[in-house]
Amino acid sequence: MAYVIGEACVDVMDRSCVDDCPIDCIYTGERKLYVHPEECIDCGACARSCPVDAITWDRDLDPSEPDSAHIADATAFFYQPLPGRPSPLREPGGAAALGPVGVDTALVAAIPRQGTP
């Protein structure tokens, strides 16, 4: 179980959640952030700090909700090779040391930019 960041984060990325995560398990893509599903300890601090309510405990997401797709997508971010990378990130052990990843999953990359028809 883990917290999951949904579509509301896309193109917002203010990083309030990063500042409040006690174990530094929220990683930065290009247009969205991703919680590591194995490193997250389910404390909920990030969800309380997000100004756009983008973060949800995965058990609270009904499969009918669009953000439920971001549960599997977070796993894909870490365990499938991202564009331009030869191998998956797997368990980097901390977002600060890794730095911004700079790319997104295909699901997130396909989301229209805000204000774009």
Q: Which residues bind ligand SF4 (CB under 6 A)?
A: 3, 5, 9, 12-17, 20-21, 23, 25-26, 33, 35, 40-46, 49-50, 52, 54-55
Q: Which residue, among 96, 60, 101, has the nearest Cα to 80 in the 3D structure?
A: 101
Least distance CB 15 / ligand SF4 (angstroms): 5
For residue 19, the one-letter residue type is: D
Least distance CB 82 / ligand SF4 (angstroms): 18
**Are 88 and 80 contacting, i.e. CB atoms less than 8 angstroms apart?**
yes
Least distance CB 57 / ligand SF4 (angstroms): 8
Residue nearer to ligand SF4 on the CB measure, 86 or 113:
113
**Are 88 and 78 contacting, i.e. CB atoms less than 8 angstroms apart?**
yes
Q: Give dist(CA 52, CA 99) in Å, integer.
A: 23
Residue nearer to ligand SF4 on the CB measure, 44 or 83:
44
The DSSP letter of residue 11 is: T
Residue nearer to ligand SF4 on the CB measure, 109 or 117:
109
- Rg, Å, the chain Cα set: 13
The DSSP letter of residue 37 is: T
Least distance CB 86 / ligand SF4 (angstroms): 27
Residue nearer to ligand SF4 on the CB measure, 86 or 89:
89
